[in-house]
Structure 1
């Protein structure tokens, strides 16, 4: 009646054969003791498009100048940990100013930039249920249309 995974979590099980539920089934009620794992949000590491530094000379020069200016403004710290934090923050600040973030790649070939932007908008609207559902419907419709068009082309 219950899968092996949750057998040790079952504390109590009762049947109610006299329940009037217009069926020949007998309702079963159980008490479970479950330990839920805490959901931890993964840290969002910023990924930068470093290929631009190799290909675009002007962006590379801007980045070099920005990093140089950040290092000059830092000064010298005596502790190694403090030096590392200063070094890391200078490089990250320069990268956020000059280099673009890596754009998300579409997992399906029929996904367009418009759909990805709508998905990002939907993700941002998770706090507002009505807005989320409205955007979700739009995303689903757009995905279905694009998927069908792609399948017809094949």
Structure 2
């Protein structure tokens, strides 16, 4: 008899925003104004049942998040110092081949490894 362990499903990652842009007073004021405008238009519905409270919370949450999505962008993905644009382009190319063409995928993978080795060696020499 073979028994397999249950797979744990991954939860979706929380979407983050780059809040360093809030150091800029113009952006901070724009976001502040948009949030205030949106929150002033929120109408809280009567009865305090759990369902209404959840609906009201979702409205308020959306009003807080939407302006930040508009004015603040996602943080840039951190990459190693030795990663070059050429390597990143090859990685995007490889992603396109993944399910379509195994041989091109493998060739691209080998090329990426070669480029990474070269770039890493050069970076270490410069350091």
Which structure exhibits the higher relative contact order, with contacts defined as CA atoms closer than 8 Å and separated by 6 or more residues? 2
Q: Compare the two structures and name the one with the higher strand fraction.
A: 1
RMSD of aligned Cα (Å): 3.1
Shift of the alpha carbon at 1:49?
Answer: 1.1
Count of residues in Structure 1 that have an aligned counterpart in Structure 2: 120
- Conservation of the 8 A alpha-carbon contact between 1:52 and 1:59: yes
TM-score by length of 2: 0.70
For 1:51, the equivalent position in structure 2 comes to 20
For 1:23, the equivalent position in structure 2 comes to none
For 1:128, the equivalent position in structure 2 comes to 99
Q: Compare the two structures and name the one with the higher helix fraction.
A: 2
Structure 1: 5+ residue runs without aligned partners? 1-10, 12-32
For 1:29, the equivalent position in structure 2 comes to none
Alpha-carbon distance in 2 for matches of 1:73, 1:122: 47
Cα gap change, 1:143/1:95 in structure 2, threshold over 3 Å: closer, same or farther? Answer: same
Cα gap change, 1:76/1:138 in structure 2, threshold over 3 Å: closer, same or farther? Answer: farther
The one-character-per-residue Cα deviations of 1:81-122 (angstroms, maximum 9, x if unpaired) are 22211111112211111101111112x331246645654x36
Structure 2: 5+ residue runs without aligned partners? 47-51
Larger Rg computed on CA atoms: 1
> Does 1:151 find its partner at 2:120?
no
The one-character-per-residue Cα deviations of 1:49-82 (angstroms, maximum 9, x if unpaired) are 11211x2111112211222233244322343222
TM-score by length of 1: 0.60
Alpha-carbon distance in 2 for matches of 1:114, 1:57: 36
> Does 1:111 find its partner at 2:97?
no
